[in-house]
Amino acid sequence: MSQETDAVHAGYRPSGDFRPMLPPLHNSAAYQFASHAEAVEKFALRQAGFTYSRTGNPTVSILEQRVAALEGGAHAVATATGQAAVALSLLALTQGPKHIVASSSLYGGTVDLFTDTFADFGIRISFVDQADPSAWAAAIESDTRAFFLESVSNPLCTVADLPAIAAIAHEHNIPVVVDNTLATPLNIRPLELGADIVVHSATKGLAGHGSVLGGVVVDSGKFDFSDAARWPQIAAPRVRLNNTSLLERHGPAAYAMLVRSKFLHDLGPTLAPASAQGILAGIETLPVRAAHVQRSVTRLIDALAEYPGIAAIHHPSLPCHPSHELARTLTPKGTGCVLAIELAHPSLVSPVIDGLKLISLAANVGDTRTMVSHPATMTHCRLSEQQLAAAGLNTSTLRLSVGLEDSADLLADITQSLDLALAATQATAGTKEVSFA
């Protein structure tokens, strides 16, 4: 099926006595077993089925199947948030603890996870320039167990050369984990470009309305985890599994089952069924929303590229962007709702933000409403000066998440705020020679 059809139908067909058209909400914590024998088999993970909603729920299962279909994956595990999806996807690979090579261009919350919480666990991270394949190769250590990056970076929209990075990783039997939140599977499917695992903050573009939190881990089911010395958590016998292995029991689904049966089960970041239902409703309109947003992004870039007060716009559609040619090849439909606007001077940041009437100051992306944020003091506020520089960010950069409003109204709001901020700043400067053009 096409993605447009999968967005509406994947994972669910009306059934039962009432045949509801919408995926029903199964708001139950527990499930009755037909017999004790059935309960034994399901709790021992020898028989598929629901036992307790911490690790599986019928409504959540529909969401998992739908996102897996959209990404072209084999298996998926839903989580309470996108942050949980990132954490669980990597904890399943780095027990020991082990080492991760990660892009230096990441969402600030992911950097917090890596440099603080993962550091407390003993997991080591090497950050590299995403655009330099040789840097990825040079950072590999004997215990490297994952590459991690964003398909389209937040907020500068750099596009990763996934085929090149995956080729390097696979030479060393390292899986590639890709955060596909900003692009969504409507614009890029990392599993088709060499990635092995995809994670989403389903809160963003998938849900699309800013009403629920959620995350998803999608597994291709194709990575070779058969080396028991390298991947004992998957390929070696475990006492927890009565001295059998996940690979022996679940074959290509072994990694996803590790995420679900150990980390989701033990740590408990479970997605609520009502949240899953909300995300499913959002996904149904994802193709329409993605197309509308891409048109608006293009119109805003065209109108603002040389507007007074703007030093640069960071978006792959522009020939000056470092990912321009790569984006034409890997993301021909676009890169999602985000663009970064670099103002001519840091002193313009607060006046421009506070002068907006339609666009909201809020820390989210992928919503129906257009939002602005200041990464250096908001989403990336705990990054050091060196980390900000490595990510290409400075204190003049604004992140714009374009929603479903008319692009003419958005443009009018941005330009009136820029005009007022420029006038006020230049008036304050008095006779000083100041230019914000």
pLDDT tens-digit map of 355-406:
999 999 999 999 999 999 999 999 898 888 888 888 888 999 999 999 999 9
Query: What's the rounded Cα separation, in Å, for the pair 407 and 315?
Result: 17
Same domain, residue pair 140 and 214: yes
Domain final position from 252, 282, 312: 282
312 pLDDT higher than 50: yes
**What pLDDT, on a 0 to 100 scale, did the predictor assign at position 433?**
47
Same domain, residue pair 231 and 104: yes
Q: Look up the pTM and report it.
A: 0.94
Instruction: Give mean pLDDT, residues 264-270.
Output: 98
Same domain, residue pair 21 and 55: yes
Instruction: Give mean pLDDT, residues 94-121.
Output: 96
**What pLDDT, on a 0 to 100 scale, did the predictor assign at position 434?**
47
Same domain, residue pair 125 and 230: yes
42 pLDDT higher than 60: yes
Q: Hunting for tokens 């197309």 — which residue is that?
A: 291
Same domain, residue pair 295 and 382: yes
Domain final position from 282, 317, 346: 282
418 pLDDT higher than 90: yes
**What pLDDT, on a 0 to 100 scale, did the predictor assign at position 429?**
66
162 pLDDT higher than 60: yes
3-state secondary structure of 153: coil
The CATH number linked to 257 is 3.40.640.10
Please name the residues in contact with 202: beta carbons below 8 A apart, sequence gap of 6 or more: 63, 67, 78, 82, 212, 214, 215, 216, 279
Which residues make beta-bridge pairs with 372? Answer: 361, 400
Q: Hunting for tokens 């029991």 — which residue is that?
A: 249
190 pLDDT higher than 60: yes
Mean of pLDDT over the chain: 95
**What pLDDT, on a 0 to 100 scale, did the predictor assign at position 426?**
76
36 pLDDT higher than 60: yes
Among 350, 374, 371, which Cα is nearest to 360's?
Answer: 371
Residue type, 196: D
Question: DSSP letter at 396?
Answer: T
Instruction: Give mean pLDDT, residues 273-291.
Output: 97
Instruction: Give mean pLDDT, residues 192-207.
Output: 98
Same domain, residue pair 276 and 338: no
Same domain, residue pair 227 and 303: no
Instruction: Give mean pLDDT, residues 152-171.
Output: 96
Same domain, residue pair 278 and 297: no
Same domain, residue pair 97 and 205: yes
Domain final position from 282, 301, 319: 282
Same domain, residue pair 266 and 374: no
What is the Cα Rg of the chain in Å? 23
Domain membership of residue 194 as a residue range = 3-282
Instruction: Give mean pLDDT, residues 400-414.
Output: 98
Q: Is the dihedral of CA 282, 285, 291, 295 positive or negative?
A: negative
Q: Is residue 435 part of a domain?
A: no
105 exposure class (CB count in 10 Å sphere: 0-12, 13-18, 19+): buried
Same domain, residue pair 133 and 227: yes
Residue 147, H or E segment:
strand 144-150
Which residues make beta-bridge pairs with 146? Answer: 100
Instruction: Give mean pLDDT, residues 280-299.
Output: 97
269 pLDDT higher than 90: yes
205 pLDDT higher than 90: yes
227 pLDDT higher than 60: yes
